[in-house]
Amino acid sequence: MNYKMIFYTVGQVLLLEGAMLALPVIVALIYAEWSVALSLSETAAVALGTGLLLILCLKRRNPAIYAKEGLIIVSFAWIAVSLVGALPFVISGEIPSYVDALFETVSGFTTTGASIVTAVESMSRGLLFWRSFTHWIGGMGVLVFVMAIASRTPDRSINILRAEMPGPIVDKLVPRSKDTAKILYIIYVSLTGLLIILLLCGGMPLFDSVIHAMGTAGTGGFGVKADSITGYNSYLQWVIAVFMLLFGVNFNLYYLLLIRKFRAVLRSRELWSYLSTFAASVILVSYSVYPLYENFSDVARVSFFNVSSVMTTTGYVVENFTAWNAPLAKAVFVALMFIGSCAGSTAGGFKVTRLVILFKKAGNELRRVLHPRTATIVKFEGKKVGEETLGSVSVYLALYVISFTVIVLLLSFERSFSFEANFTAAASCFNNIGPMFDNVAGGGTFANYSVFSKLVLAFAMLLGRLELYPLLLTVNPYTWLKK
């Protein structure tokens, strides 16, 4: 295990976080929130100091990173940014408990959007901005950002890209990892910018636009109001709904659009599966909620928005659908929570990609029952999926189910919550969606959970965002045994 390189990279990430904190500081200064600005700057100092210390101490190092180092780097880096990122909430006193603040920050970076804040409207602008900014950075990935701006990328840096980017198959867009990271961020920034402009056109205030654009881009879900998006006009709701859907698409496809390979985009099996799942869900939900509204345009808007929000694991809400008397719609939402969006997007969940591969594999196995000697391969996006990938996708499913079960079990120690509440809370955090679906007392937040459960849920969010392996490897004692 190359400890020096691991901690060196963590140092780089902390340095980046310190630099990032400058933005919320500026926001706090603009809104004259002096004490908040101070708490943010203190955190920035901590991040920069620790980062610099690590980097300077580890100047002489062997730059080789193998797969295991890639995974460990990613999980350490994410834990480190969360630990530091929670500080401003505590220092400013807006979230007095450190565990609560940590929950909020992890929820931010993992683009979950689960919150323990019951009165969002009373939070300071600076911290609201920081909270949503963590979504934006976490969406595309902290280390991907480091790679895009670092002067020198280590050998075998693909191992870091692989560990941080969601999906079973991670391909580079261009030969060099650094350029790939750059292109991804350029697409990400431009789409976010476009969204901000469209929201401004709809009459949303600048601050709200930026916050919601970052929440949408990272498919996070933090907002500025307790009732999420419900209070905004229907144009704004449509814009956000469509952009959530866009950010759930594999970013590689945008690159293909940029280099004018339109046919490749149209032929993408992943995209079609994603869109058809989406369309079917919208129809089912519309059918289910039609009796409640009896107005076609409202039904269309509400269904489209909420399906888009749950499927892309964003977690914005219009009309509190948990209070609906529509069991079919709820069942669809629970199913969508687990399916998630495309690989290579900012969304969470199991990923359509894996599901498509598993379905094809299952079809092959069924055919093998009929014709025991039949030869089978699984093709995806026009290419044969290797046995290795097939195996890893199946194992991922098993680990995914086991992890989820354990999380639900651990949450069930809570006496004051129903099983449904715990189940959806676990699903919501594990798949990085966010809101609590069955907790009217807590106003849709996680504030009433015990410290233990909050830590379990925070771990679940990281587990879901980093797709199991990095964290599982980190907590596995065999990783650290010298044998």
Which residues contribute to the site for another protein (CB under 8 A)?
A: 67, 153, 155-159, 172, 174-179, 386
* Minimal distance, residue 386 CB to another protein, in Å: 7
Residue 139 C-beta: closest distance to another protein, Å: 24
Q: How far apart are CA 238 and CA 122, in angstroms?
A: 27
What b-and-e string marks burial along 383-419, b requiring 16 or more CB atoms within 10 Å of the CB? eebeeebbeebeebeeebeebbeebbebbeebeebee
- Minimum separation from the CB atom of position 344 to another protein (A): 15
> Rounded to whole angstroms, how far apart are CA atoms 47 and 60?
22
Sequential DSSP letters for 346-357: S--SS-HHHHHH
φ and ψ at residue 380, rounded to 5 degrees: -140, 130
The residue (of 90 and 169) whose beta carbon lies closer to another protein is 169
144 or 198, CB closer to another protein?
A: 144
Q: Which of 174/402 has CB closer to another protein?
A: 174
CB of 164 to another protein, least distance (A): 16
Give the number of other Cβ atoms within 10 Å of residue 295's Cβ: 11
Q: Rounded to an integer, what distance in angstroms lies between the CA atom of residue 290 and that of residue 218?
A: 31
Nearer to another protein, 172 or 225 (CB): 172
Smallest gap from residue 262 Cβ to another protein (A): 15
Dihedral (CA of 439, 310, 241, 184) sign: positive
Nearer to another protein, 175 or 372 (CB): 175
CA dihedral (24, 30, 31, 36) in degrees, to 10, reads: 40
Neighbouring C-beta atoms of residue 477, cutoff 10 Å: 6
Cβ distance to another protein smaller for residue 39 or 159: 159
**C-beta of 155 vs 365, nearer to another protein:** 155
The CB-of-155 to another protein minimum distance in angstroms stands at: 7
Instruction: In angstroms, give the least distance from the CB of 183 to another protein.
Output: 12
